Amino acid sequence: MTMPMTSKLPRVGTTIFTLMSQLAAEHSAVNLGQGFPDFDAPPFLVDSLAQAMRDGHNQYAPMTGVAALREAIAEKIAAMYGVHVDAGADVTVTSGATEAIFCAIQSVVRPGDEVIVLDPCYDCYEPAIDLAGGRAMHVPLMAPEFRVDWQRVRDAITSRTRLLIVNSPHNPTGAVFSAEDLDAMAEALRDTEVLVLSDEVYEHIVFDGALHQSVLRHAELAARSFVVSSFGKTYHCTGWKLGYCVAPAALSAEFRKVHQYVTFCSFNAAQHALAAMLRKHPEHHLELPAFYQHKRDRFRELLAGSRLALPLVAGAYFQLADYSQISDLDDVDFCRWLTVEKGVAAIPLSPFYENPPPGQRLIRFCFAKAEATQLAAAERLQSL
């Protein structure tokens, strides 16, 4: 007998990232879909992890995170953004940024609350809102630059709005906030009690000399914000699943109430290794923009002259591509065809939307890849 089951997430299936990676593996395709590097983490970090395990850091870590790591995070924030955060009260280490995003939403969103998300947006936001009993209110970004229309954000705010979720550098488009965006966000929220969840996992991957405009730089926004970041993106170790959330003490206290019953704590030895990396090799995250800008520019160079149109991306490690000169297929079908028939996996943009723009023909490639991987993919893409 099969028991009847009513899903709490009836619209959710397997993520597009998992589906495309499985398809890539089945067809031996070059995987430029799921956003992970195919090169090694820094040797010092790997050696520090091994040493931390030999030193006995193999049991539960403190619930809020190893003190040395939280202190190193606070020191980095002070150096980069010129603001002081309390390592004890304001910083919480999490099992990846996705956990941090989930816990932030669960800690403040109640049944009936509205949460504004900006489409296209990362796919973990809305399921977490649904599980909290909230409702996602979708405000589209303005193509082709994917800028925020702050007037539309203001217009979307109601008495039920609890949270605004923003993401810069942006996944999947690579758009980044300017200082003017922070000012406009602050103005839009000034006379409200709306909180902010700022997804900043690509904070160290901003190109062409621009500064990452963290909401932590803006005191008015920082006072109402959860700011989420990821060590996996910064140190090429996405499989370690370590991130953190920075928020004022009152918000962090509510965040930790949820966090302690989701994962309680995160990979102890890796926290010690990351603390050592932050303190002894800050040049790694300081040089990361140039490192990834080279990969961005190399990938674009390899695809120059192809039938793919490539808008310039300002941050993160994804390149959008317009394939309208190649096919009239929708983006999901085109990505399947590209993987199966041409041997390159990409990610369609439509799963990032509530209502995809009609006729849009955009896909996303990850260029956080070794030279050989980029070359293999480019050879196939040039034949389209």
Span 210-235, pLDDT tens digits: 999 999 999 999 999 999 999 999 99
Mean pLDDT, range 289-311, rounded to an integer? 98
Given a cut of 90, is residue 5 above it in pLDDT?
no
Mean pLDDT, range 251-266, rounded to an integer? 98
Handedness of CA 267, 261, 73, 226 (dihedral sign): positive
Mean pLDDT, range 260-266, rounded to an integer? 97
CA distances in angstroms from 167 to 118, 131, 257, 264, 361, listed in the order given = 8, 21, 24, 26, 22
What's the confidence (pLDDT) of residue 16?
A: 86
- What does the block give as tokens for 358? 């009609």
Q: Are 135 and 113 within 8 A, CB to CB?
A: yes
What's the confidence (pLDDT) of residue 155?
A: 98
What's the confidence (pLDDT) of residue 4?
A: 78
Given a cut of 80, is residue 3 above it in pLDDT?
no
Per DSSP, 277 falls in state H
163 forms beta bridges with: 115, 195
| Mode of pairing for the β-strands spanning 318-322 and 362-366 | antiparallel
Q: What angle do CA 178, 183, 185 make, to 5 degrees?
A: 95
Q: Are 160 and 110 within 8 A, CB to CB?
A: no
Q: Are 140 and 175 within 8 A, CB to CB?
A: no
Helix (H, G, I), strand (E, B) or coil at 191: coil
What's the confidence (pLDDT) of residue 344?
A: 97
Mean pLDDT, range 25-38, rounded to an integer? 92
Per DSSP, 13 falls in state -
How many CB atoms lie under 10 A from the CB of residue 85?
Answer: 23
Given a cut of 80, is residue 271 above it in pLDDT?
yes
| Mode of pairing for the β-strands spanning 30-31 and 344-345 | parallel
Cis peptide before 120 (omega within 30 of 0): yes
- What pTM was computed for the model? 0.96
CA dihedral 272, 276, 282, 287 (to 10 degrees): -70
Mean pLDDT, range 14-42, rounded to an integer? 91
Span 54-100, pLDDT tens digits: 999 999 999 999 999 999 999 999 999 999 999 999 999 999 999 99
What's the confidence (pLDDT) of residue 253?
A: 98
CA distance 97 to 230: 5
Confidence label for 242 from pLDDT (cuts 50, 70 and 90): very high
The mean-pLDDT minimum among 9-13, 69-73, 191-195 falls in 9-13
Longest dimension (CA), the chain: 62
What's the confidence (pLDDT) of residue 141?
A: 98
Q: Are 175 and 154 within 8 A, CB to CB?
A: no
Long-range contacts, stretch 326-335, CB < 8 angstroms, 24+ apart? 326/384, 327/361, 328/361, 331/356, 331/360, 331/361, 331/362, 331/363, 332/16, 334/361, 334/363, 335/20, 335/33, 335/363
CA distance 161 to 304: 45
CA distance 343 to 60: 43
All structural domains of the chain, each given as residue ranges with its CATH number in brackets, are 16-41+284-381 (3.90.1150.10), 43-280 (3.40.640.10)
Mean pLDDT, range 335-347, rounded to an integer? 96
Confidence label for 1 from pLDDT (cuts 50, 70 and 90): low
